[in-house]
Amino acid sequence: MEDFYRELSEELEKLKAQAIYREFRTVENSASQWVVAGGGELLNLCSNNYLGIANHPLLKDASVDAINRYGSGATSSRLIIGNYDLYEEAEREIARFKNTESALLFNSGYVANIGTIAAIIGRGDLVLSDKLNHASIIDGILISRADHIRYRHCDLTNLENHLKHASYKRKMIITDSVFSMDGDLAPLPGLVELKEKYGAILMIDEAHGSGVFGANGRGLAEYYGVSERIDINMGTLGKAFGCAGAYVAGKKVLIDYLKNKARSLIFTTGLPPSTVASINAALKVVRDEGWRRDSVLSKAKLMRDRLGRAGFNTLNSQSQIIPLVIGYDRAALEFSRRLYEENILAPAIRYPAVPKKMARIRLSIMATHQLDDLEWALERIERIGRETGVIG
Ligand code: PMP
């Protein structure tokens, strides 16, 4: 087996030479806005805990109670024995939250996407996917074996051209709602027009929209007033909801179909009861503490405006995700290292998470960030930007 391990090691050396090698970093308290890592305290500007509720007392208490009542694991697939009333309650509440007939829990956003996409489309079907969609969508499409067109990012004209020439019985359009690495927004009103005009199914991934956008936090579809016109509403529960897992919401027949056909649901152990209990608590917190949505979005706007005025390229971000485009992978790593030295935690996002030469720092804002801390960070980010020549 020596050849095998040598080959692995050579591959890793190549990644290091290209500055795209990845390593875990240990932190002591990732749910907080200040985290302890490497012996120092750093401002957390990279968490998806957008509403700051991952350490909310109601979520923690719900988890602890569920552990005491049910134990630590679901013990099997939900279709065998690992299904408690807790899960059904969560699904009822998610459906209510999303204003859909029904909903289904999955163990993560990644498995929700691969399971759902591969269940809905297959050989002989066509999927039209935004070029910047998340890796889990791309992997779901690959598993499905459907024909695959990647349309230009958020480009409705380009998408319509493809739709016009597509003679497939089943066509599915799929998009992130808030794009995970650019922080910009999918043109959902235009997408629903096109899906209706060309008889396509529309699936949206609200991983970064759910809990944050819309008057009730239902997501970007609510913000644009098009929720009822979307066929498959997927969202995650490990980001704004501070838990883990994901959901798909839609018509009852769709959910019944997924229970029977989504392999990533059928052939896996259910989420731990403690997680599902915290999801139920998070749904209440998201409903009752609307100030968190206003807070994260207004702080994000302040940051975007200031960073843009300072000369950073923040692409077309309109959300709590703010990219600072640096360019080369190595330069982004160096920028992130400089931030770390100044007690700011914001890793470099490199290829293949983003296209080559588009490496960046991805800042994400939390409702619980203090304005003074953000000012403190802005001053440092701008100084490092000037010193490294990223801004003039
Ligand atoms: N979809 C999108 C758009 C995401 O950004 C992510 C996670 N980064 C996922 C799906 C996967 O979600 P999870 O982390 O729950 O697997």
- DSSP for 134-170? -HHHHHHHHHHT-EEEEEPTT-HHHHHHHHHT---SS
Distance (Å) from CA 140 to ligand 1 centroid = 12
User: How would you classify the pairing of strands 348-349 and 359-364?
Assistant: antiparallel
Of 56, 162, 171, 239, which residue is the catalytic one?
239
Chain length of the chain: 392
Instruction: Give the model's pLDDT for residue 382.
Output: 97
Our answer on whether the CB atom of 336 is closer than 6 Å to any ligand 1 atom is no
Structure tokens at 51: 């509403």
* CA of 111, closest atom in ligand 1: 16
Instruction: Give the model's pLDDT for residue 198.
Output: 97
Q: How far apart are CA 259 and CA 187, in angstroms?
A: 30
Sequence-distant (≥ 6) Cβ neighbours of residue 84 within 8 angstroms: 70, 74, 273, 276
Say if residues 373 and 356 touch (Cβ distance below 8 Å).
no
Nearest to 112 by CA among 174, 68, 169: 174
Our answer on whether the CB atom of 207 is closer than 6 Å to any ligand 1 atom is yes
Amino acid at 388: T
Of 32, 180, 295, 364, which residue is the catalytic one?
180
- Choose which residue among 30, 50, 105, 134 to substitute to test ligand 1 binding: the one with the highest number of ligand atoms within 8 A of its C-beta: 134
Residue with CA closest to ligand 1 atom 8: 180
Structure tokens at 331: 């330069």
Instruction: Give the model's pLDDT for residue 30.
Output: 85
> 369 catalytic, yes or no?
no
> 63 catalytic, yes or no?
no
Amino acid at 124: G
Q: How far apart are CA 382 and CA 311, in angstroms?
A: 9
Instruction: Give the model's pLDDT for residue 159.
Output: 98
User: Average pLDDT for consecutive 10-residue bins of the chain (392 residues)?
Assistant: 95 94 88 90 97 98 97 89 90 97 98 98 98 97 98 98 95 98 98 98 98 98 98 98 98 98 96 97 97 98 97 97 97 96 95 94 98 98 97 90
Residue with CA closest to ligand 1 atom 9: 109
Distance (Å) from CA 112 to ligand 1 centroid = 9
Q: What is the pLDDT of residues 134-174, one digit of tens each?
A: 999 999 999 999 999 999 999 999 999 999 999 999 999 99
User: How would you classify the pairing of strands 246-250 and 321-327?
Assistant: unpaired
Distance (Å) from CA 115 to ligand 1 centroid = 13
Q: How far apart are CA 125 and CA 9, in angstroms?
A: 40
Q: Which residue has the tokens 């983003």?
A: 354
Q: What is the pLDDT of residues 358-372, one digit of tens each?
A: 999 999 999 999 999
Prior bond of 355 cis (ω within 30°)? no
Q: How far is CA 209 from CA 128, 180, 293, in A?
A: 21, 10, 11
Distance (Å) from CA 231 to ligand 1 centroid = 19
Q: What is the pTM of this model?
A: 0.96
Distance (Å) from CA 372 to ligand 1 centroid = 30
User: How would you classify the pairing of strands 201-205 and 171-176?
Assistant: parallel
SS3 53: coil
Our answer on whether the CB atom of 109 is closer than 6 Å to any ligand 1 atom is yes
Q: In the chain, where does DSSP find H-type helix?
A: 2-17, 57-70, 85-98, 109-120, 135-144, 156-164, 188-197, 220-223, 252-261, 263-266, 273-288, 291-309, 329-341, 371-387
Say if residues 248 and 258 touch (Cβ distance below 8 Å).
yes
Our answer on whether the CB atom of 238 is closer than 6 Å to any ligand 1 atom is yes
> 180 catalytic, yes or no?
yes
Instruction: Give the model's pLDDT for residue 173.
Output: 98
